[in-house]
Amino acid sequence: MTMKTQPIKFAIIGLGGFAQAHHKAIIKLEEKGIAKLVCASGRDPAKYQKFIDEMSFKDRGVQIFSNYLEMLGRFVPESGVVIIPTPIHLHMPMHKDVVERKIACYLEKPPTLDIRELNAMASLDENAKFATMVGFNMISDPARLLLKERLARGEFGKPRRVSFLGISPRYTPYYTRAPWAGRIEADGHLVLDSCIGNALAHNVHNILMWAESNNTLSWADIAEVEADLYRGHAVQNFDTVFARAFCRNGVELRIAASHACEMPNRHVEVVECEKATIHWQIGNPPVIKWKEGREEQVAVDSEGGSVARCIEAYVDYILGKREKPLTTLKDCIPYVSLFDLIYVAAGDMKVVPQEHIRRTVVNPGEEQVGIIGV
């Protein structure tokens, strides 16, 4: 079933945190005539009055609710899409509330970090009016999709090893911004918030996409994992991970990622294939290094992989211009499986001794916490 008219109407659950990035993305799509925000909810709208004013909700005719269920009750299913950019442990119940009302759902990544929850969500989605899209927005980058198409055609040969290096420091306020940040559980629910379970989840999802060459939108299943987990920040969950895995198709994965590190940021994906190696330092154009010696630089779009681009791709699906969302709940099974198996493989979490931690004051009340000399 498809909606044949534009702009598509949207509702957003949330006014703070990363929900604000989605509000800003919708404004970009409104300017293109693609989307129209009709309502939003937040538990304490008055707390976000400055943001509400900045977003010109009143002038844009956006209705505000303090209860998302009340908002869903007023939102006509045929009219559009509900975006859920809320804390991870709220995704499953909110997804259920949206889908059971026959409303299309755009769910921020990760959908959950509990494979049992993901399987239940995917099962529920089988009867959805529209398949849910999970907002792994880097997948929407045209350059990434084009490279994956070339990989699927066999241009680079079979992938052999895919690696990710994520040097991604987070200052201390990152872990005090919300009661669930850096925690294993919150309110009796698994959260498992961590470097590769939140900010760097995109890249782990990406390397699983590179590891499967059957078609463009495909991700490799995991066969075995070995891992070590570390904690440098004063948080409940790990902030640093080293992992090695093998996919069922034989492709090797390597991950080294941390929030307990020092600037500058550096996110690098490397795809080693039979005929060439793709080297992509995020923020720069990807480079293909052919075994024969030549190099090829791939052009990138400055908006490639943005939240707005990802939501626009879901609109294309809703309008019948795409066969499926870029990332469905089932497409997330390899990522969540790998994440959970990393816990099992590690067995425990090592607390880094203070003599191997360097603390640097970057602003009043803000420290950079970096693991050194290990």
What angle, 0 to 180 degrees and rounded to 10, lies between the N-to-C axes of helices 307-318 and 19-31? 60
pLDDT tens digits, one per residue of 246-260: 999 999 999 999 999
More confident residue, 2 or 72: 72
The percent of residues above 70 in pLDDT, for the chain, comes to 98
Q: Which domains does the chain have, with CATH numbers?
A: 8-136 (3.40.50.720), 139-303+329-371 (3.30.360.10)
pLDDT of residue 75: 84
Res 5 pLDDT > 80: no
pLDDT tens digits, one per residue of 127-171: 999 999 999 999 999 999 999 999 999 999 999 999 999 999 999
pLDDT of residue 68: 98
pLDDT of residue 32: 96
Mean pLDDT of 213-222: 97
Residue 353 has a CB neighbour count (10 Å cut-off) of: 11
Mean pLDDT of 238-267: 98
pTM over 0.75: yes
pLDDT of residue 3: 52
Q: pLDDT grade, residue 309 (50/70/90)?
A: very high
pLDDT of residue 1: 53
Structure tokens at 63: 């209705």
pLDDT tens digits, one per residue of 23-67: 999 999 999 999 999 999 999 999 999 999 999 999 999 999 999
Question: For 76-80, 96-100, 283-287, which range has the lowest pLDDT when averaged over its residues?
Answer: 76-80
Q: Which of 140, 139, 105 is nearest to 125 (CA)?
A: 105
Q: pLDDT grade, residue 373 (50/70/90)?
A: confident
Q: What is the mean pLDDT of the chain?
A: 96
